[in-house]
């Protein structure tokens, strides 16, 4: 469903991604991990072209995201890829409900009444039906992130990307966001998650990708990755996690 083919990306002279070849299959949950600065955010942001690449291609449902696409085609493609940010990025001038309703109405042309109904259902699904009228500034971090997930789901995307969705949260709020993600995975959503939550990776992921210095070094199953990581850097990464 998401395929990286010989992807190279530079920030000036810095090679942020080097020869990335990997695939997320339909219905799969892939967890991307690796040390800070290894290129995880950059990689996941190339999938909906929030970052450009210098060579190679990223295929989503067989279409080259970085190929020759008109603006409208790219916008349409983006509606099919849900994206959840580390910093939530809710729209602070809109209530939780309006955050979720906005894009179905303005991008997909869904009628207000239908958008509202769907949004309330989604807010209920992430456990926030009671907070529909609250503004982001009145919600806790965990609540904001769950609204952000509902907002992404409102476009009914076949795949969801998460870039460290719990890293900005107080520890006691991590669980509520992860449990929403677990339920998505259980429902068969195709997911690519950058996260440091190794328990989530162990329980939910079908594959774990390990990144270091812009390269994807491992793409094993969680069992293989956690029991017998092949690459010395992955071994060091895991032992650092344990001793922390």
Partner 1 sequence: MSVLPSMIEIVRDNWLLLLVGQYPNGPLGGIAATLILSVLGIALAFPLSVVMALASLSPWRALRWPVMAMVYVTRGVPLLLIILWVYFVLPLLIGRSVPAFATMLVTLVGYEAAFLSEIVRAGIQALPTGQMDAARALGHSRLGAMRYVILPQALFNMIPSILSQFVSTIKETTLGYIINVPELTFAAGQINNRLLTKPFEVYFILAISYFVVCWTLTQAINMVERRITMRRTRDLAVSALTAIPASASGG
Ligand X SMILES: Nc1ncnc2c1ncn2[C@@H]1O[C@H](COP(=O)(O)OP(=O)(O)OP(=O)(O)O)[C@@H](O)[C@H]1O
Nearer to ligand X, 40 or 116 (CB): 40
Answer yes or no whether residue 42 interacts with Mg ion by CB under 5 A: no
Please tell me the distance from the alpha carbon of residue 28 to that of residue 158, in angstroms, as a whole number.
11
Answer yes or no whether residue 43 interacts with partner 1 by CB under 8 A: no
Binding mask 160-189 for partner 1 (x = CB under 8 A): --------xxx-xx----------------
Identify the helix (H) or strand (E) that includes residue 220.
Answer: strand 215-220
Nearer to ligand X, 155 or 208 (CB): 208
Please tell me the distance from the alpha carbon of residue 85 to that of residue 41, in angstroms, as a whole number.
10
Binding residues for Mg ion, rule CB under 5 A, total 1
Compute the least distance from the CB of residue 36 to partner 1, in Å: 17
**Closest-CA residue to 75 (of 65, 62, 84):** 65
Nearer to partner 1, 14 or 130 (CB): 130
**Closest-CA residue to 207 (of 29, 51, 35, 56):** 29
Compute the least distance from the CB of residue 57 to partner 1, in Å: 20
Nearer to Mg ion, 96 or 198 (CB): 198
Query: With the CA atoms of 96, 144, 107 and 159 taken in that order, what torsion angle do they form, in degrees rounded to the nearest 10?
Result: -140
Checking DSSP bridges between strand 14-24 and strand 2-11, what pairing results, if any? antiparallel
Please tell me the distance from the alpha carbon of residue 45 to that of residue 51, in angstroms, as a whole number.
5
Binding site for partner 1 (CB under 8 A): 48, 50, 71-72, 75-76, 78-79, 81, 83, 85, 87, 89-93, 102-103, 106-108, 131, 134-144, 148, 151-152, 155, 168-170, 172-173
């Amino acid at each position: 469903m998401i395929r990286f083919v010989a992807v190279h990306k530079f920030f000036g002279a810095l090679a942020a991604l080097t020869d990335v070849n990997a695939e997320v299959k339909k219905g799969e949950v892939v967890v991307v991990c690796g040390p800070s600065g290894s290129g995880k955010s950059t990689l996941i942001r190339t999938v909906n072209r929030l970052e450009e690449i210098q060579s190679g291609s990223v295929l989503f449902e067989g279409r080259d995201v970085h190929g020759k696409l008109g603006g409208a085609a790219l916008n349409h493609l983006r509606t099919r890829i849900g994206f959840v940010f580390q910093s939530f990025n809710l729209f602070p001038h809109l209530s939780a409900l309006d955050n979720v309703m906005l894009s179905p109405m303005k991008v997909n042309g869904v009628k207000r009444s239908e958008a509202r109904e769907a949004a309330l259902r989604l807010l209920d699904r992430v456990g926030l039906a009671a907070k529909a009228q609250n503004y982001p500034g009145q919600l806790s971090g965990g609540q904001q992130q769950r609204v952000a997930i509902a907002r992404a789901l409102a476009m009914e995307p076949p795949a969801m990307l998460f870039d460290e969705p719990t890293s900005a949260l107080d520890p006691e709020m991590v669980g509520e966001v992860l449990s929403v993600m677990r339920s998505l995975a259980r429902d068969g959503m195709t997911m690519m998650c950058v996260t440091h939550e190794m328990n989530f990776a162990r329980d939910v992921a079908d594959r774990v990708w390990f990144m270091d210095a812009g390269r994807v070094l491992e793409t094993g199953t969680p069992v293989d990755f956690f029991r017998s990581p092949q690459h010395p850097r992955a071994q060091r990464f895991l032992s650092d996690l344990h001793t922390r």
